[in-house]
C-alpha cells in the first residue's frame, strides 16, 4: 500500500507532539489506509515500553489526503518527469513521479496554504531506484542533451 508522507509542524496533534502527519494516498481506499495505520500503531505499541504508549493515540494519527492528480498506480502523467527534473536542478533532491513527487506536491501545497508560511518537513520515503526503470521506459526524458545535461 504505497504512501507518501509530509509532516506539517504548525499543528498540534492528539499524540501531544508539535506536528501532524499528512500522508498522500497513492493506490488504495481511505478505509484500507486507516486499517494499515491502526495496525502500525498497534505494532509500535507492542515494540515500545508502556511509558511511551500515551504518546500515540489509537487512531487518527495520520491526516490522509488524495493525490492531487489521481491515476492508476504506476502511471506517469505528462509533465511529471519534467517536474522531477526541475526539482532536481533547483534543489538537488531526486524525486520519482510515482511516489516522492506526490509528497513534494503536498508539501508545497502545505507551505502555500492559508496565506501563511508553514514549517513543513517532507519525509523522502525512497522511490529513487524507480528512476532506473523509468529511464528504460521513457528514454527520451533521460537522454543527455547537446550541452551534457540530462
Does 147 reside within a domain?
A: no
Residues in the chain: 150
3-state secondary structure 82-133: HHHHHHHHHHCCCCCCCCHHHHHHHHHHHHHHHHCCCCEEEECCCCCCHHHH
Distance of CA 129 to the CA centre of its chain: 16
Number of structural domains in the chain: 1
Does 149 reside within a domain?
A: no
38, 100 Cβ separation under 8 angstroms: no
Does 146 reside within a domain?
A: no
Q: d(Cα 85, Cα 18) in Å, to the nearest integer? A: 33
Does 105 reside within a domain?
A: yes
- Tell me the CA end-to-end span of the chain in Å, nearest whole number: 31
Cα separations (Å) of 111 from 4, 40, 92, 120?
16, 28, 19, 7
Q: What sign does the CA torsion over 31, 39, 130, 24 have? A: positive
Q: What sign does the CA torsion over 101, 106, 109, 111 have? A: negative
Q: What is the CATH number of the domain that holds 60?
A: 3.40.50.1100
Quote the longest CA-to-CA distance of the chain: 61
Cut 0.75: pTM above it: no
Q: pLDDT of the chain along its 150 residues, tens only?
A: 455 555 444 444 444 556 678 888 888 889 998 898 888 888 877 887 677 666 666 556 788 898 888 777 778 888 999 999 999 999 998 898 888 898 899 888 888 876 566 678 888 877 777 777 777 888 887 776 545 555
Enter the C-alpha cell of residue 122.
Answer: 517532507
49: domain range? 3-141
Does 148 reside within a domain?
A: no
Amino acid at each position: 500500500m504505497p504512501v507518501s508522507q509530509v509532516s506539517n509542524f504548525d499543528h498540534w496533534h492528539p499524540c501531544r507532539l508539535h506536528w501532524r502527519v499528512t500522508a498522500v494516498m497513492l493506490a488504495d481506499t481511505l478505509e484500507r489506509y486507516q486499517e494499515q495505520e491502526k495496525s502500525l500503531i498497534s505494532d509500535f505499541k507492542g515494540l515500545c515500553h508502556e511509558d511511551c504508549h500515551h504518546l500515540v493515540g489509537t487512531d487518527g494519527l495520520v491526516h490522509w489526503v488524495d493525490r492531487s492528480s489521481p491515476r492508476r498506480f504506476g502511471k506517469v502523467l505528462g509533465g511529471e518527469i519534467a517536474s522531477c527534473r526541475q526539482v532536481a536542478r533547483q534543489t538537488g533532491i531526486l524525486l520519482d513521479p510515482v511516489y516522492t513527487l506526490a509528497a513534494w506536491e503536498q508539501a508545497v501545497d502545505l507551505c502555500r496554504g492559508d496565506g501563511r508560511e508553514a514549517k513543513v518537513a517532507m519525509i523522502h520515503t525512497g522511490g529513487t531506484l524507480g528512476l532506473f526503470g523509468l529511464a528504460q521506459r521513457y528514454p527520451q526524458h533521460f537522454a543527455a542533451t547537446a550541452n551534457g545535461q540530462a
